[in-house]
Amino acid sequence: MSASRIIVGLDLGSHRVRVVVAEVHEDGRLKVLGLGTVPSEGIRKGIVVGFEPALDSVRRSVAEAERSSGLELRSVFASVTGDHFRALRSEGVHAKEGESREITPEDMEQVVRVARSVQLPPGFRIQHTLPIDFVLDGRGGIKDPVGMDGVRLQAEVLLILGEISVLENAAKVIQKAGLNVEGLVFSPLATALAALQEAEREEGVVLMDIGAGTTEILVLWEGAVRHTEVLPLGGANVTRDLSIGLNVSLEDAERLKLDHATLLAARDPAQRFAIRQVGQDEDRYVTAETLRSIVEPRIRELLDLAWERALKGEHARRPGTGVVLCGGGATLRGLAETAAQLYERSVRLGAPLQQEGLTAELQDPRYTPTVGLLHYGYRRLGSAAWSDARAKSGSRGLARWLHARGKRQGK
């Protein structure tokens, strides 16, 4: 087995740290070899807040993945998130010189380089450069101008900015665990790779990944990312409300949320579930309707806020734009139906798209960004097979914004 075919994805989540090891075949098919998942410590709302606890979580998840795969892991593609991320639109212009009018990859690199030459907020760096549109001699709507004839090339890009200290601390935790960082990937980009269908990316979609500590929003249209934001709210807020409202531990509140909470009208609102209140020795009981009365207001608030942020990307306003919900928070019963009612458009629950080589455990909304890292890693490693697969799949639009530029950490 060639080491170059082994790709490892590491998801630094606020609830769990997940590691997936896979062998990627030349045609892009995945074969999952190992999995490690442990409770996340020292990571809050996607940001490292305790170095040693976070390091311990990474080490334990990696050790578990190594045991299950039988491999010694040396490098990873890791997801990062947090409300420090910002999106900035920029434009660049490049005029060809010489007799040749044919646009080359070097011309593409140059015009994007010009678009990246903007003044950044203090303490931030460009983490990803995502092309939106190219204009050649005044004619726009061009996705890939390489090979076309023209003189004046313009590029519109979306720059994803991240706070340097936050990104460096995430990389440092991983490196201290004995791993090389092949790339730090803005988490919703990885999620989009695993969960979105080609038609959705082209026709318009709002991706919402509801994690424990954050909700990530990504708006795509015509294969390009048009807007993105990260809310510092997630499923943990619902758990906390249950804990306070019922006077139970956070652990018991999480169990109640996952096992019994629903946004749908209960068949029997008076159905009771046992709870153990803090400081009490005997079980008490809570009804299904009481659970719903606590959970529903917080969820509706989260969905309203997420939609408000999504609408900053004008393409989210289009009637045909659908919504895909991912993440552990999206597994709450009745969430998709509630979102569809609020947004008045089609909503579906997203998970890694069906693919040979993915285990049943990985075909779950919680693992979407981790699986997406495997796809991202395959593309970033520059496999020659990707060029052929891209041409066959028609996904050139998506491929354009996957080529993050800069340092190995994905700057």
CATH number for 331: 3.30.420.40
**Average pLDDT, stretch 228-236?**
94
Contact 287, 171 (CB under 8 A): no
pLDDT band for position 232 (cuts 50, 70, 90): very high
Q: pLDDT value at position 99?
A: 79
Residue 104 lies in a domain: yes
Q: pLDDT value at position 409?
A: 37
pLDDT band for position 314 (cuts 50, 70, 90): confident
pLDDT of 276 > 70? The answer is: yes
Which of 38-42, 111-115, 194-198, 390-394 has the least mean pLDDT?
Answer: 390-394
**Average pLDDT, stretch 340-352?**
93
Residue 1 lies in a domain: no
What is the C-alpha separation between 375 and 390, in angstroms, rounded?
12
Q: What is the pLDDT of residues 97-124, one digit of tens each?
A: 877 889 999 999 999 999 999 999 999 9
Do 238 and 306 fall into the same domain?
Answer: yes
In the chain, the percentage of residues whose pLDDT exceeds 70 is 90
> Phi-psi category of 382—alpha, beta or left, where left has phi over 0 and alpha has psi -120 to 50?
left
pLDDT of 388 > 60? The answer is: no
**Average pLDDT, stretch 167-194?**
95
Q: How many C-alpha atoms does 383 have within 13 Å on its Cβ side? A: 21
Q: pLDDT value at position 406?
A: 32
Do 218 and 295 fall into the same domain?
Answer: yes
pLDDT of 346 > 90? The answer is: yes
Q: pLDDT value at position 226?
A: 94
Do 204 and 138 fall into the same domain?
Answer: no
314 or 399, higher pLDDT: 314
Do 210 and 110 fall into the same domain?
Answer: no
pLDDT of 259 > 80? The answer is: yes
Average pLDDT value for the chain: 87
What is the C-alpha separation between 391 and 394, in angstroms, rounded?
5
Residue 391 lies in a domain: no
Which residue range(s) make up the domain with 118? 86-161
Contact 177, 189 (CB under 8 A): no
What is the C-alpha separation between 230 and 253, in angstroms, rounded?
25
pLDDT of 378 > 60? The answer is: yes
Please identify, among 110, 143, 161, the residue that sits at the C-terminal boundary of a domain.
Answer: 161
**Average pLDDT, stretch 44-67?**
96
Which of 197-206, 281-290, 349-358, 389-398 has the least mean pLDDT?
Answer: 389-398
Q: pLDDT value at position 11?
A: 96
Do 138 and 221 fall into the same domain?
Answer: no
Do 209 and 342 fall into the same domain?
Answer: yes
Which of 131-135, 223-227, 270-274, 288-292 has the least mean pLDDT?
Answer: 270-274
Please identify, among 133, 161, 189, the residue that sits at the C-terminal boundary of a domain.
Answer: 161
Q: pLDDT value at position 360?
A: 77
Residue 24 lies in a domain: no
Do 218 and 94 fall into the same domain?
Answer: no
Please identify, among 161, 189, 212, the residue that sits at the C-terminal boundary of a domain.
Answer: 161
Do 145 and 272 fall into the same domain?
Answer: no
Q: Give every strand in the sheet of 224-231, ordered side by side.
A: 224-231, 215-221, 205-210, 322-326, 347-349
Supply the CATH number for residue 139's domain.
Answer: 3.30.1490.110
Say how many domains are in the chain: 2
Q: pLDDT value at position 397?
A: 40
- φ, ψ (nearest 5 deg) of residue 85: -65, 140
